[in-house]
Copies of this chain bind each other. A is one copy, B any other.
């Protein structure tokens, strides 16, 4: 596409990111269809020509925004740091990262805005899923498979279990935040949600006592 190595004008790259930031605010709050290019330009000044020169059209801007948002938000899960720790600790850390990502304004906004456009932009929906929730589930499935190979657990379908685990972090708490019915959880609430989910995932409700610690085993 553009291979302009030298920056002639005042930082073409900062212009692009400024547009994306403004677009995020408007798209994620109003939705794709209800967002006007004028509303985006109002936030950063300048002219609509900037957007059309950089992204081609409204679709191009939206797809670039969703793709980059999903990519950067979920990259935090790719880093390791899980070696040599117990499954309980690994799941707790994984859950903390996952919840923080899911509750971040960026991913909340992507959720809100991509839903009704998924049928209109099938390739974008697939890209978002693969980069985001799909990658999270795949990554966790690897972790579970490693634990199984070490003999810690005895799971048949690691991927199905990983899906269930990921789903526990998109529960009604997450839905309320997405719908704007409550603010994102405080650190204390988040930690409580993570420990609760990990406890149930590992030991089930039969195996947890009132303090949240595993009963047997």
Check if A118 sits within 8 Å of B179, measured CB to CB: yes
Q: Which residue of B lies closest to A167 (CB)?
A: B171
Q: Which of A7-15, A51-59, A76-84, A148-156 lies on the face that meets chain B?
A: A148-156
A125 close to chain B: CB less than 8 A: yes
Per-position 1/0 for A158-182, Cβ under 8 A of B: 0011011011111111111011110
Distance of A48 from chain B, by nearest CB (Å): 20
Cα–Cα distance between A104 and B133 once the two chains are bound (Å)? 22
Task: Tell me the smallest distance from the CB of A129 to a CB of chain B, in Å.
Answer: 6
| Inter-chain contacts of A205 with B (CB < 8 A) | 144, 153, 155, 161, 201-202
| Cβ-defined contact, B155 with A163, below 8 A | no
Min C-beta distance of A162 to chain B, whole Å: 9
Contact A164–B196 (Cβ < 8 Å) = yes
Least CB separation from A137: chain B residue: B172
Known: A34-B116, A206-B202. A166 touches B155 (CB 8 A): no
**What is A's interface to B at a CB cutoff of 8 Å?**
29-34, 111-120, 122, 125-126, 128-129, 133-134, 137, 144, 153-157, 160-161, 163-164, 166-176, 178-181, 192-193, 196-197, 200-212, 215-217
Sampled A-B contacts (21; CB under 8 Å): A31-B116, A31-B117, A111-B115, A115-B178, A118-B178, A118-B179, A129-B176, A133-B175, A153-B205, A154-B215, A155-B205, A155-B208, A160-B193, A164-B171, A166-B172, A167-B167, A167-B170, A200-B201, A201-B204, A204-B206, A204-B207
